Amino acid sequence: MSTITIKSPREIELMRVSGKITAAARSIGREMVTPGVTTQEIDKEIYKFIKRSGAEPSFLGYGGFPGSACISVNDEVIHGIPGKRLIREGDIVSIDVGAFIGGFHGDCCGTFAAGKISEEARRLIEVTRQSFFEGLKFAREGYRVSDISHAIQDYVESFGYTLVREYVGHGIGKNLHEAPEVPNFGEPGHGPRLVRGMTLAIEPMVNMGGAAVRVLDNDWTVVTADGSLSAHYENTVLITDGEPEILTMAEDL
C-alpha cells in the first residue's frame, strides 16, 4: 500500500457525505434481514438506495465483485456474494457496504439477526460490535495503529472468541483501501502514529471457533475453516485532535 493520506478539512467534509450514505445503506440492509428474503433482494435495495443518493456502490465491480454489498451468512466471514440464498430464521447476516461520492469512499458493516437467533449467536454479535468501540478508544492522536489492534484482540479473546488474521482494516479515502493496514490483533505500540486527518476503516472479524479461514470456490467468499459462526462490525473513523469521529454514524449504529 501507498503512503498514508491526511485529509484536508474540505476532504473530511466530503467523507462525511459518503460516510452518511454508506451508513444509511447499511441500515437498509439491516431492516431487510428477515427470514424468507434472499441476499440478492437485499443487495438490490442497497444498490437502488446508493444510486438514488447520487453515489456509486464502492464494491460493485471492485476486483470484479458482482454485488453492491457483501452479504455473509453464518460461517461466512466476509465477501459473501449476493444471490438466491434464502435467509432463514436463526441466521446471522453480515452486511458490508461502501459508497463513493464526491471523490471519496465510505465503508461500514454490521452483523444482524434473522428472526430469533441463539443466545450464543447474539453474544458473538454483541462482542464483535463492542470490540470496535474498545479499539476506538485508542483511535486518537498519540497512539499507534496497533494500540487499536491490541484493544480489539484483548477484548474479543477474553470471551474465548478468535480474530481473523488474513484480513484487516485499512485506511480509506479516495481509494477504498489505503495505507495503513489496521489489523485486529497484535502487540500495542507498533505501526504508524495516529494523527488528525487520518481516516481508517476499523473492522473486527470475529469467529466463534478457530481463527482459521478458507476461501470458497467462487474465489471471493471467506468462511471459517471449522464451520463456526463469524461476525463482523465496521465503521469509517476520522482521527481528530480529540474524540474520534465515526463518519458512518447512524441512529441504529
Specify whether the CB–CB gap between 206 and 174 falls below 8 A: no
- Among the listed residues 213, 92, 206, the one whose alpha carbon sits nearest the alpha carbon of residue 159: 206
Dihedral (CA of 6, 176, 187, 160) sign: positive
Work out whether 76 is an interface residue with Mg ion (CB under 5 A).
no
Q: State the number of binding residues for Mg ion (CB under 5 A).
A: 2
Element containing residue 128 per DSSP (H, E): helix 119-136
Site for Mg ion in 182-201 (CB under 5 A): 201
Q: Smallest distance, Å, CB 234 to Mg ion?
A: 5
Q: Smallest distance, Å, CB 243 to Mg ion?
A: 22
Of 125 and 237, nearer to Mg ion (C-beta) is 237
Work out whether 107 is an interface residue with Mg ion (CB under 5 A).
yes
Of 117 and 246, nearer to Mg ion (C-beta) is 246
Of 120 and 166, nearer to Mg ion (C-beta) is 166
Q: Which three cell numbers stand for residue 247?
A: 463518519
CA 24/CA 250 separation, integer angstroms = 7
Element containing residue 238 per DSSP (H, E): strand 235-238
* Only segment of 2-10, 103-111, 129-137, 143-151 that touches Mg ion (CB under 5 A): 103-111
Work out whether 246 is an interface residue with Mg ion (CB under 5 A).
no
Q: Which residue has the cell 450464543?
A: 120
Q: Smallest distance, Å, CB 62 to Mg ion?
A: 11
Q: Smallest distance, Å, CB 101 to Mg ion?
A: 17
Of 107 and 147, nearer to Mg ion (C-beta) is 107
Of 21 and 201, nearer to Mg ion (C-beta) is 201
Q: Smallest distance, Å, CB 195 to Mg ion?
A: 21
**What is the number of alpha carbons within 13 Å of residue 195 lying toward its C-beta?**
8
Q: Smallest distance, Å, CB 160 to Mg ion?
A: 25
Work out whether 117 is an interface residue with Mg ion (CB under 5 A).
no
CA 153/CA 151 separation, integer angstroms = 6
Work out whether 77 is an interface residue with Mg ion (CB under 5 A).
no
Q: What is the DSSP string of 160-199?
A: T-EE-SSS-EEE-SSSSSEEEEE-S---SS-SPBP-TT-E
Q: Smallest distance, Å, CB 110 to Mg ion?
A: 12
- Among the listed residues 191, 229, 239, 217, the one whose alpha carbon sits nearest the alpha carbon of residue 77: 229
Of 49 and 132, nearer to Mg ion (C-beta) is 132
Of 41 and 181, nearer to Mg ion (C-beta) is 181
Per CB under 5 A, residues contacting Mg ion are: 107, 201
